Amino acid sequence: MVKLINFLREGYKNENVTQAFGLLVSTIVGLVLGFATNSLLTRILGKELYGDYALLFNIYSFCQIIFNFGIFYTISRLVAISNDKDKTRGYYLVGFFFVIILFILMAVSVTVYAFFSENMNKSSFFKVLLISIPLSWIYLLTTLNENYLPGDNKINLLSWSRLLPKIFLAGILVIIFFYFKNVSLVTIVLLNYLTFIIAYLYVFVKIKPTFKQFKRRLSEILVGNKQFGFDIYFGALIASGSGSLSGILISHFGVNNIEVGYYTLATLLASPLSMIPNIIATTQFKNFAQSQFIPRKLIFMTFGLSIFLMLFIIFTSNLIVSVFFGKEYLESVVMLQYLSIGFVLYGIGDFFNRFLLAKGKGKELRNASFLVGFTLLIANIIFIYLYRGAGAAVARILSGLMYALVILYYYRKEIKGL
């Protein structure tokens, strides 16, 4: 711990460390707001509607992964290796163009799913899903921002893009909780969309996208996507897609969506553990593209923070759930404890993954993601069928362990001989 403190002191004046700290602080604030927001949602909506809300979130999270095709990964790398501001701004505009195209494909697919899914509750959730589709492009724009901003080293803007929607939504829900009653799920969903639209308008204005050499930027992205972007996408489709299916599978095997809500709450509380290594790696992404290896001090700091916070969450899980969500949600505690371990393992894998991504190791990441995704998919089907939400948490641990080991293997292979 002393070494960790000394490292932080040494890096105080370093821009990358300062950005990492800022992003970490914004994530912690976002976590607190997430607690408050979901606490209010559980009380405003009740168990059943909150479960429907959670299922809607899971469906679109799955869509974010499917309707990517590697384009946004490609943009991230091209921006990271470029020092031309006009070029990077041009990449963003092309990315926005792809958001529109991919949204059309996503909207058609979700509509087909809504009409033909056998387990769709057509008296309630069916209508909510259909109404949510026209503005669901916001999920794809989120993916673009999450890839573009770290590539261009706009870490402060990335922090605000994540934080502003949560601030707006928390404020809106406080007003609803105290002054309104019987607010529908549709209203909550549309208000949530509005918070993202406002925040991303701010991001768009700050980036100042340009049409300059649009066709050339488009061509560069398509070429880059063919070279490495699609390989990364294919692997992520298997790995991340399998994870996003967890909530959908819990709904499929369960009687209702209440346990989907429990699992989503547990994921909300545990997932920041994977964000910490990702945040640190995100601030270093541009440096990774030009470095031969990751400094040991950076690895030490990352692992130390992750393990400390994991133990904190595990030992205070009962208190956290009781205070923020109520005793009626204590059934999610076991899921939270298991998921804490799983997300730390994923965070470690993500940390080294960012280094390999900066090096353009698309095929290696594709292979790793395929193996991890296959592990998670099989584990999800088996354990969710047997144990529902708790089974999904166990599956996350198994796949997280596989992910960390495989990515570490490729990292060691990359730096071997240095």
Q: What is the pLDDT of residues 390-413, one digit of tens each?
A: 999 999 999 999 999 999 998 888
Distance CA 156, CA 22 (A): 7
Three-state DSSP state, 272: helix
Three-state DSSP state, 289: coil
**Which residues constitute the domain of residue 388?**
2-415
Say which residue the tokens 């993500």 belong to. 350
Task: Encode pLDDT of 322-378 as tens digits.
Answer: 887 878 888 889 999 999 999 999 999 988 988 888 877 777 887 887 888 889 999
Q: For position 121, what pLDDT does the model report?
A: 60
Distance CA 325, CA 323 (A): 6
Average pLDDT value over all residues in the chain: 86
Rounded mean pLDDT, 146-156: 85
Task: Encode pLDDT of 295-307 as tens digits.
Answer: 888 888 888 999 9
What confidence tier does 382 reach under pLDDT thresholds 50, 70, 90? Answer: very high
Q: Which of 35, 98, 23, 18 is nearest to 313 (CA)?
A: 35
Q: What angle do CA 147, 149, 150 make, to 5 degrees?
A: 75
Rounded mean pLDDT, 80-91: 85
pLDDT at 2 over 70: no
Could you tell me the two tokens for 307? Answer: 């393990």
Ranking 91-100, 130-139, 200-209, 270-279 by mean pLDDT, the lowest is 270-279
Q: Where are the alpha helices (DSSP H) in 254-361?
A: 258-270, 272-283, 285-288, 296-325, 333-358
pLDDT at 267 over 60: yes
Q: Which of 96, 87, 100 is nearest to 213 (CA)?
A: 87
Q: For position 32, what pLDDT does the model report?
A: 85
Q: How many domains does the chain have?
A: 1
pLDDT at 59 over 70: yes
Q: Is the dihedral of CA 359, 228, 343, 268 positive or negative?
A: positive
pLDDT at 4 over 50: no
Burial, 404: exposed, middle or buried (Cβ in 10 Å; 0-12, 13-18, 19+)?
buried
pLDDT at 20 over 70: no
Rounded mean pLDDT, 226-234: 81
DSSP classification of residue 122: T
Return the percentage of the chain with pLDDT > 70, whole number: 92
Residues 140/64, Cβ–Cβ less than 8 Å: yes
Rounded mean pLDDT, 18-35: 77
Q: For position 270, what pLDDT does the model report?
A: 92
Q: For position 212, what pLDDT does the model report?
A: 85
Rounded mean pLDDT, 142-157: 87
C-beta neighbour count of 206 within 10 angstroms: 13
Task: Encode pLDDT of 238-265 as tens digits.
Answer: 767 777 888 888 888 876 788 888 999 9
Contacts of 4 (CB under 8 A, 6+ apart): 300, 301, 304, 305
Q: For position 119, what pLDDT does the model report?
A: 65
Higher pLDDT, 199 or 18: 199
C-alpha 66: how far from its chain's center? 14
Residues 400/345, Cβ–Cβ less than 8 Å: yes
Q: Which of 78, 176, 174, 193 is nearest to 131 (CA)?
A: 193
Strands (E) located in 156-236: none
Q: For position 319, what pLDDT does the model report?
A: 92
Return the percentage of the chain with pLDDT > 90, whole number: 37
What is the length of the chain?
418
Burial, 126: exposed, middle or buried (Cβ in 10 Å; 0-12, 13-18, 19+)?
middle
Higher pLDDT, 414 or 98: 98
